[in-house]
Amino acid sequence: MTQAKKAFITGITGQDGSYLAELLLGKGYEVHGLIRRASTFNTARIDHLYVDSHNPDARLFLHYGDLSDGARMVTLLSEIRPDEVYNLAAQSHVRVSFDEPEHTGDTTGVGAMRLLEAVRLTGLHCRYYQASSSEMFGATPPPQNEETPFYPRSPYGAAKVYAYWVTKNYREAYGMFAVNGILFNHESPRRGETFVTRKITRAVARIKAGRQSELYMGNLDAIRDWGYAAEYAEGMWRMLQADAPDDFVLATGIGITVRDFLEASFSHAGLDWQKYVKFDPRYLRPTEVDALIGDASKAEEKLGWKATVAPDELARIMVDCDIEALEHGDGYIDQPRLSGWPLHSELRRG
């Protein structure tokens, strides 16, 4: 019998980490996740996957640690000896990165280098995935692809540029199988509540239920290419199954404004957004990224990956789930809704 592959995921408690853990467990992997010690439980997105570690069927194991602690990364990697490492951990909120630039640089930027260095020091021949971001393109106009120059517009974007280059450098300097997935915005019912899409879809559900009457927002003109996170996890995995390490953009190729997303979400629930949405300058950023629209043709050609959920369909999925979540209360977790991907079965490549 062949041994199950082992994956180590940082950021497993986040939106993407939860979908990736689900995907890898479905493929028979043994999954190890890094979690931060907190005074309250922070594992809501993966509780449905957890089996007590005393159970012989357990294949998901959680380890305390933090990307600010390089020694801990070395210890964990030498104990787990994973075949694949997915670095998804980050202070990932762009607006917050203006308030906490040093912390963002330390975790989102230097954290990646600590993990790469831990891989190098332990001498593991594992494959490494870096969660790079379309925020690196910043002010460079769309469409953006793997050749587009970076022009970050926030401490978060600048930290991701550092992590991108250090990943590329470890590939070139040490021959590591290290890749950058340059992912455009991807959302889901598991999205953090302060990102704009989820803020909107939660508000729609609460307004519909009579629990909220106003929604305060910032810049409605920004254009984003919003895809569905569950299928982006599939793209991350495919990057690590490729014959050679390379960098890939994942995106839908469709850009819409925040205003369009408001319209799609409110109208799906039979509401007129203009009656509820108010402006609050608190949500503006010192420097904004005006437009991100990705060109993922390289991923389609080389990995056979293509987004199937467009931003307006995503808005409807998220509104439906937020309405269900209000009805079901604590512990609600969505089932991925995918039209084109057989999520838990073996996928054909290319």
135 flagged as catalytic: yes
Q: Specify whether 162 is catalytic.
A: no
x-or-dash string of contact with ligand NAP, 47-66, rule CB under 6 A: -------------------x
255 binds ligand NAP (CB under 6 A): no
d(CA 132, CA 146): 11
Pick from 70, 75, 62: nearest CA to 35: 62
Cβ–Cβ contacts within 10 Å for residue 172, how many? 10
Phi, psi of 34 (to 5 degrees): -90, 125
Neighbours of 286 (CB within 10 A): 8
- Which residue has tokens 């694949």? 84
213 binds, among ligand NAP, ligand F7E, none (CB under 5 to 8 A by kind): none
Residue 85, Cβ density class (10 Å: 0-12 exposed, 13-18 middle, ≥19 buried): buried
Q: Which residue is nearest to ligand F7E (CB)?
A: 222
> Which residue among the candidates 133, 134, 154, 188 is catalytic per the annotation?
133
Based on the shown chain and the rule CB under 6 A, indicate whether residue 11 belongs to the binding site for ligand NAP. yes
User: By the 8 A CB rule, do 317 and 337 touch?
Assistant: yes
- Please identify, among the stretches 31-39, 47-55, 78-86, 190-198, the one whose residues bind ligand F7E according to the rule CB under 6 A: 190-198
Q: Does 157 bind ligand NAP (CB under 6 A)?
A: no
Cα(119)–Cα(126) distance, rounded to whole angstroms?
8
Q: Which of 22, 30, 135, 187 is catalytic?
A: 135
Q: Name the nearest CA neighbour of 65 among 110, 107, 18.
A: 107
Nearer to ligand F7E, 62 or 223 (CB): 223
Tokens of 175: 């021959």
> Which parts of 188-217 interact with ligand NAP (CB under 6 A)?
192
Which residues are at the interface with ligand F7E (CB under 6 A)?
92, 94-95, 133-135, 184-185, 194-196, 199, 217-219, 222, 224, 258, 283, 285, 288
Catalytically active residues, by annotation = 133, 135, 156
Which residues are at the interface with ligand NAP (CB under 6 A)?
10-11, 13-17, 34, 36, 42, 66-68, 88-92, 107, 131, 133, 183, 185-186, 192
